[in-house]
Amino acid sequence: MQILDRDWKVCSQEPAADAKVSTDTELDFGAVKLKEGCPAEDQAEPSAVGGTMPNFAGKSVKAARHTLDSSTSITVTDASGDARFILVESNWQVCNQAPNASTNRKRLPVEFGAVKFGKKCP
């Protein structure tokens, strides 16, 4: 969720730049802030398999939220201890989660501790 598009650069896109597509085709762009380097490859969103909790460590909070069912209650807190509000979830990476990965999630509330990308998890 970029607020000022001019502060971002596109690292990848799907479909590819030279692909012939119709005007109603949805485009997917991978972007980073201008001062950041592009990753070597895009990360796929984790998949929720068979009712078990995926391991979201290192993934963006946005990707984690989109993987879980929309009825899941999700709380995200700043794991750095600075008590910052997490407004743009794509800029934050998951450090810890409850319930833990591979446990049965049975529509329980989910809690994530996260830090901004580029910062170390505590």
CA distance 117 to 6: 20
For residue 6, the model assigns a pLDDT of 82
pLDDT at 108: 77
pLDDT digits (tens, 9 = 90+) for 103-115: 876 767 999 999 9
What local confidence, expressed as pLDDT, does residue 44 receive?
A: 64
Q: What is the pLDDT of residues 47-95, one digit of tens each?
A: 555 678 899 999 999 999 988 888 888 999 999 999 999 989 999 999 9
Phi, psi of 6 (to 5 degrees): -70, -10
The pTM (predicted TM-score) of the whole model is 0.63
DSSP 29: E
**CB proximity list for 67: less than 8 A, separation 6 or greater:** 45, 46, 47, 48, 54, 56
Task: Kindly state the tokens that stand for 95.
Answer: 């450090």
pLDDT at position 14 is 86
Our separate counts of H helices and E strands in the chain read: 1, 5
pLDDT at 45 exceeding the cut of 80 = no
Q: Name the strand (E) or helix (H) holding 62.
A: helix 61-67
